Amino acid sequence: MTAIAVPPAAAVGNRTMSPAEYGSWAAEVRRLADERGAVVLAHNYQVPEIQDVAHVTGDSLYLSRVAAQTDAREIVFCGVHFMAETAKILSPDKTVLLPDHAAGCSLADSITAEQLREWKAEHPGAVVVSYVNTTAAVKAETDICCTSSNAADVIRSIPADREILFCPDQFLGAHVKRVTGRQNISIWAGECHVHAGISPADVRAQIAAHPDAEILVHPECGCTTSVLDLVSSGDLPAERTRVLSTGGMADAAAASTAAQVLVATEIGILHQLRSLNDATEFIPMNARAACRYMKMITPAKLLHTLRTGEGAIDVDAGTAARARRAVEAMIAIGEPGRGGE
Ligand code: 13P
Ligand code: SF4
């Protein structure tokens, strides 16, 4: 891999390190990554220092595409376990390192492979669509995965007469059903504790306090339906209200000319949005919406991983081969940008 210069310390947001500490830590991260032939990938919910030092920061689909295509020898994944596992499934010959294996996901925990097998047995012939926030074992039982940025396109790719089982996120499931108009979709009742906690009451309070703000909502949010109901009733202007993946939010933020934007998703994204546009004020819909799993990846743990090579992800070959079909089918669908609806 070619050495890339250490990224500058962006003058925005919530760093816990001083500029000098950041500078020497970031230089060491990039030096070790070059030495190992590693690419550092970071999800948009990571802490600011990690978003800034990573070679690539983005949403789930974008990072999966990078993991599938990189020519680096190693992938150091700053995100949660299912994301690193997906990178390993896509690049089985590469070493994939996750700085803390305890970084799980409450949404991925909401369905097991055994539960999915039982559900499939009740619906013979149905096409199984699983959100990428699932374990490798669940992906191995899946026909096609999706992320928040291509879920509607994935559903549209399935013949209209086929029954669909969608798991595990009930709010994303309800959203794709609404967007695609498909009725023959059964939806698993799983949820992410962070996004489910962004409530209709939060939305009402923040809209009342910021009546002219643009609104960006992640489709995993418990408030998605209420926001779209406000659009349907004419209480919110449709042109100022969008349901997007975190990558779609980054694109929308970069292009926004609004004075204020209300953001309904995990609060780590705010650093990315503020870095992309410092003329707009980005305000969380719920300032307590932090994912404790994403925050388990700390600057110190990233450095430790790069120094020691500890934290390799292993997926057994049989499971990986079955899961790969579903993940590769997902990667082939949707625009290869940083994310959209
Ligand atoms: P995206 O970045 O794909 O929108 O996913 C959000 C998420 O919750 C990942 O855990
Ligand atoms: Fe999982 Fe929710 Fe955390 Fe995303 S924010 S990693 S869906 S628990």
pLDDT digits (tens, 9 = 90+) for 257-286: 999 999 999 999 999 999 999 999 999 999
Domain with CATH 3.40.50.10800 in the chain: 19-104+294-315, 108-192, 194-284
Average pLDDT of span 41-55: 97
Q: Whose CA is nearest to atom 4 of ligand 1?
A: 245
Confidence (pLDDT) at 208: 94
* CA neighbor of 80 nearest in space, from 296, 337, 301, 330: 296
Name the CATH topology of 108-192.
Rossmann fold (3.40.50)
Closest ligand 2 atom, residue 265 Cα? 5
CA distances from 243 to 97, 204, 250 (A): 32, 17, 12
- Listed range (3-7, 19-23, 84-88, 286-290) with the worst mean pLDDT: 3-7
Q: What is the pLDDT of residue 216?
A: 97
Of 204, 146, 209, 199, the residue nearest 172 (C-alpha): 146
Regarding the beta carbon of 295 and ligand 2, being less than 6 Å apart is answered no
Tell which atom from ligand 1 comes closest to the C-alpha of 147.
Answer: 3
Nearest CA owner, ligand 1 atom 2: 59
- Atom from ligand 2 closest to the CA of residue 82: 6
Residue nearest to atom 6 of ligand 2 (CA): 105
pLDDT more than 90, % of the chain: 88
Pocket test residue of 51, 59, 149 for ligand 1, highest count of atoms within 8 A of CB = 59
Ligand nearest to the CA of 146: 1
Nearest ligand 1 atom to the CA of 133 is 10
**What fold, for 19-104+294-315?**
Rossmann fold (3.40.50)
Closest CA to 302 of 28, 84, 74: 28
Distances 29 to 18, 71, 271, 283, 293 between C-alpha atoms, Å = 16, 19, 20, 31, 21
Q: Indicate the pLDDT class of residue 6, thresholds 50, 70 and 90.
A: low
Residues with CB under 6 A from ligand 1: 44, 59-61, 133, 147-149, 192, 218, 220, 245-246
Residue 214: φ, ψ to 5°: -75, 160
In CATH terms, 194-284 corresponds, of 2.70.210.12, 3.40.718.10, 3.40.50.10800, 2.40.50.140, to 3.40.50.10800
